[in-house]
Structure 1
Amino acid sequence: MQALTLPAAHGWRWLADGFRLFRKNHLLLTFLVVSYWMLMALVNVVPVLGTIATTLCIPAFSVSLMNACRNIERGVALGPQLLFSGFEKNLRALLTLGAIYLAATVGILALSALADGGALMQLMLAGHKPDEESMTSGDLLLATQIALVLLCPLVMAYWYAPILAAWHGLSPGKALFFSFIACVRNWRAFLVYSLATMVAATLLPALILGVLVALLPDGIALLTVLVTMAIVLILAPTLFASFYVSYRDVFVTNEGDA
């Protein structure tokens, strides 16, 4: 297995090809993504334990969605059972990845607590609303900025790690390492990908909404809801499909790899 270094233009192609992949079986892919969200939300209702359980399972569920995208590309028959297909192989490594991610996130939030006294940490882990003083003083904003900076390398390490662990049998440590290196090598493509995603998630919906409001000025509230729902139900599955596309383009597998 080898990680290629791709041109910056591939970042846009990942999103475009993800949308093409989504269109091949948009109903089932949307169903799987929405079902995943609902299941995570249901488990998260349980304080603390729910957060721990969902975080541990995120790598396995991400593999499930990547399995769906791979099957769509190959023209293989799909079914709702694919939502749990990520739990069928190398589950121990995937749960370990989830545990590492949880521990790293808690550590980052603990460091951010030096700026706001733990307000952000309590918000993210326990759902406690920050007090007025933290919000008006700017401490919460500073803590959020610190957390985002520290989360960036963590996200890079996890971008491909679940797939590398599940499909290629890599240990959690090796999966995290190769994922991080692949992201570093392709930082230009990821920068373009991030910008393209921002345009698709913000500017494009705003433009569509503006045109609709100009045509139907009396229905702005309803139009806002409809456009938001449409964007979420289209963009979210497209993003998951683009994750798979980026993996397919970046990694070259040797014959015999999983």
Structure 2
Amino acid sequence: MDNSLPVFRVVAAGRGWDWIVQGFELFKRNPGIWVAITVIWILLNMAASITGAGALAAPLFAPVLLGGMLIGCARLVRDQELEINHLFAGFKQPFLPLLGVGLGLLVAQWAVALIAGMLALTFGAGTFLSGATLSGSASEAAIAASVLAGLGVGILVVILVALLLYGVVLMAFTFAPALAVLGNVAPIAAIQSSFKAAWANWRPLTIAGLIALPLCIIAAIPLMLGYLVLIPVLIGASYAAYRDIYPELPEQLAEDTP
């Protein structure tokens, strides 16, 4: 397991479109298996959301399942067969690095929630205290307007801060699962490198995101069935982005080890 930060490159903004196209090409190589994998993945997430423990554990194992699907993408690129059990390939070697990435994701999400919650409490308490100070010198309507305005500003600030922090988390984990499962990079180094690579390549990643947004809306129209295609396409696109940004990093799969 390599603890050093792998070398990445900065690519043109237009590559964001190319990644989506490459993701669709990977889907077309075995659409039936991809749809089956997606259905199982959705059912697992639904089952996890039923219980509180499952919902808490979902971020922990999300990179593990994603790592398995990335292995499937790598197999397709090598002209090998995609199998349903590739969804669970991340639970085999290298399971621990992917679990480490999942632990980092879990901690990061809880940190964002904690910071947002503390900000909300601070703004809420401050707003009501300011309203209390006006109680003796202003009408009830003026006090209510002041409190509502303060709450509105507070909510807006909390939302903006949460989005900013979640954007940082997203960049830190954009390539981390792929680096851990395909690049043999240690979890902390994978998270650090992912953030740096995503920050440096924000232009193509933004283009890919802007393309994916309307696709998500379209996929939701036919009873959400479009996501059975869109999800594997986006996973394939993430694999294409990883290989494009880390072209010199050798791809190592557990099955390659004698």
Q: If the TM-score is normalised by the length of the shorter chain, which range does it land in?
A: 0.7 to 0.9
Q: Map Cα deviations across residues 117-161 of structure 1 (whole Å, 9 max, x no partner).
A: 39xxxxxxxxxxxxxx99xx5455543332111011111111111
User: What residue is the counterpart of 2:21 in the other structure?
Assistant: 16
Is 1:100 the counterpart of 2:104? The answer is yes
User: What residue is the counterpart of 1:71 in the other structure?
Assistant: 75
**How well do the aligned residues superpose, as a CA RMSD in angstroms?**
2.5
Distance between the aligned counterparts of 1:44 and 1:256, measured in 2?
Answer: 33
Distance between the aligned counterparts of 2:160 and 2:17, measured in 1?
Answer: 27
Task: Write the letter of the residue equivalent to 2:96.
Answer: R
Equivalent pair of 2:67/2:98 in contact (CA under 8 Å): no
Distance between the aligned counterparts of 1:58 and 1:35, measured in 2?
Answer: 13
Q: How many residues align?
A: 222
Distance between the aligned counterparts of 1:173 and 1:86, measured in 2?
Answer: 18
Identity rate, percent: 26
Deviation at 1:169, TM superposition (A): 2.0
Which ranges of structure 1 fall in alignment gaps of 5 or more residues? Answer: 119-132, 207-223
Which ranges of structure 2 fall in alignment gaps of 5 or more residues? Answer: 1-5, 123-146, 254-258
Equivalent pair of 2:30/2:82 in contact (CA under 8 Å): no
Is 1:145 the counterpart of 2:160? The answer is yes
Q: 1:158 to 1:185 in 2, by over 3 A?
A: same
Match runs of 1:217-236 below 5 Å: 227-236=222-231
Equivalent pair of 2:35/2:229 in contact (CA under 8 Å): yes
SS at match of 1:252: coil
User: What residue is the counterpart of 2:45 in the other structure?
Assistant: 40
Deviation at 1:51, TM superposition (A): 2.0
Distance between the aligned counterparts of 2:50 and 2:225, measured in 1?
Answer: 26
Deviation at 1:228, TM superposition (A): 4.1
Equivalent pair of 2:97/2:187 in contact (CA under 8 Å): yes
Equivalent pair of 1:29/1:68 in contact (CA under 8 Å): no
Task: Write the letter of the residue equivalent to 2:39.
Answer: V
Is 1:86 the counterpart of 2:81? The answer is no
- The two structures have a TM-score, normalised by structure 1, of 0.77
Equivalent pair of 1:96/1:172 in contact (CA under 8 Å): yes
Deviation at 1:56, TM superposition (A): 1.1
Distance between the aligned counterparts of 2:250 and 2:197, measured in 1?
Answer: 20
- The two structures have a TM-score, normalised by structure 2, of 0.77
The structure with the larger Rg is 2
User: What residue is the counterpart of 1:167 in the other structure?
Assistant: 182
Deviation at 1:175, TM superposition (A): 0.5
Task: Write the letter of the residue equivalent to 1:66.
Answer: L
SS at match of 2:244: helix
User: What residue is the counterpart of 1:126 in the other structure?
Assistant: none
Q: Map Cα deviations across residues 21-58 of structure 1 (whole Å, 9 max, x no partner).
A: 111111111211221121122122111x1123222111
